[in-house]
Structure 1
Amino acid sequence: MSDHISLVGNVVGELERRTTRDGGPVASFRLAVGERRLDRERNEWVDGHTSFYAISAFGELGANALLSLRKGERVVVTGRLRLREWENETTRGVSADVVADSVGHDLRWGTTRFVRTPRPDTADKGGSDDGSARGTEQMDTERAVVDGWAVPGAETETPAGDDRVRDAVAVGGGAPPVEGPF
């Protein structure tokens, strides 16, 4: 039996790539979940207790997390909580481990772009998971050109004169910052 939990916090450190016995990808990272409240007497924000969780994401979720998440980013994690007791020569303790069911950026603090990964069962057949006849080679080409900017009906070419998109894709940084009033 496991307890389901939803957490919102910051990624602590870089993600670690591991593999299962059968070679499947696993992304491991620590998540800091802090309490913050407004002290009305002093009219300032005060940090409270911070809890740390060890997060493991398996399979495609793990592979996508490795490509998407970076140290310091604010994320939302849902999964199964497992409390693990441990002991070494000098101390004993309990560790809070979470096997993630889903992971995503907290959009309250920034923006992100979604890029669908092709499903393995449709990639071999030359189709895509949306039922179209478009092959994976075309999908990979589109993703390489715009990485995160490809949405249905959108142009697949980098906007003229906007090198930020090309540069962000080249270094794996995703979409460039959005400018303008909102």
Structure 2
Amino acid sequence: MFRELASGASARFRLAVTSRYWDREKSVWTDGHTNFFTVWANRQLATNVTASLDVGDPVVVQGRLKVRSDVREGQNWTSADIDALAIGHDLARGTTAFRRTPRPETGAVGAPAQPEPSWETPPAEPDTQPQPEPAAVT
């Protein structure tokens, strides 16, 4: 689900993670327990997730895990949310084509006008200390 909020874009989706293990008795891979997580993405990440992911895509999510417990209608209830910092396709299971999103124009509405950082190394200052003469080799 994608929403445009006053604080910026927000997206959320459910992530199912199923463990797999090798069953030695049957000599087959077997699915284990499935855990479900609600993944939250904000700002540019939310916009890019909405444009890039489809239901069923294998993904890798990096972020902060938040586990909440509550009692609802007399039953214990637990949810696990991930505040995503980075999301991408799982390249062990397929390929993807990366496209950079355009940067907002300087002076555009809502875009902060900030100078670009200088990534150049400053020039070295000339040595003011006299250098010793190299020793003569005889």
1:95 equivalent to 2:86? Answer: no
Structure-1 residue corresponding to 2:67: 83
Partners of 1:62 and 1:23 lie apart in 2 by: 12
Equivalent positions of 1:2-17 (< 5 A) are 16-17=1-2
- Structure whose residues are more often strand by fraction: 2
- Structure whose residues are more often helix by fraction: 1
1:37 equivalent to 2:1? Answer: no
Task: Tell me how many residue pairs correspond in the alignment.
Answer: 109
- Residue 19 of structure 1 and its aligned partner are, at CA, apart by 3.3
TM-score, normalisation: structure 1: 0.55
SS in 2 for 1:120: coil
Unaligned runs of 5+ in 2: 109-115, 117-138
Task: Answer with 84-93 or 71-80: which moved more.
Answer: 84-93
Partners of 1:52 and 1:25 lie apart in 2 by: 23
Structure-1 residue corresponding to 2:95: 111
Percent sequence identity is: 46
What CA deviation, in whole Å up to 9, does each residue of 1:143-167 have, x standing for no partner? xxxxxxxxxxxxxxxxxxxxxxxxx
AA aligned to 1:78 is Q
- Residue 87 of structure 1 and its aligned partner are, at CA, apart by 3.3
SS in 2 for 1:42: coil
Flag the 1:116–1:38 CA change in 2: closer, same or farther, 3 A.
Answer: same
1:74 equivalent to 2:58? Answer: yes
- Residue 40 of structure 1 and its aligned partner are, at CA, apart by 2.0
AA aligned to 1:39 is D
Partners of 1:29 and 1:87 lie apart in 2 by: 23
Quote the RMSD (CA, aligned, Å): 1.9
Unaligned runs of 5+ in 1: 1-15, 130-182
Residue number among 4, 7, 12 corresponding to 1:28 in the alignment: 12
- Residue 41 of structure 1 and its aligned partner are, at CA, apart by 2.2
What CA deviation, in whole Å up to 9, does each residue of 1:45-68 have, x standing for no partner? 111111110000000001000011
Structure-1 residue corresponding to 2:47: 63
- Residue 28 of structure 1 and its aligned partner are, at CA, apart by 0.4
Structure-2 residue corresponding to 1:140: none
- Residue 121 of structure 1 and its aligned partner are, at CA, apart by 4.7
SS in 1 for 2:49: helix
Moved over 4 A (4+): 121-124
Partners of 2:77 and 2:47 lie apart in 1 by: 30
Partners of 2:107 and 2:24 lie apart in 1 by: 56
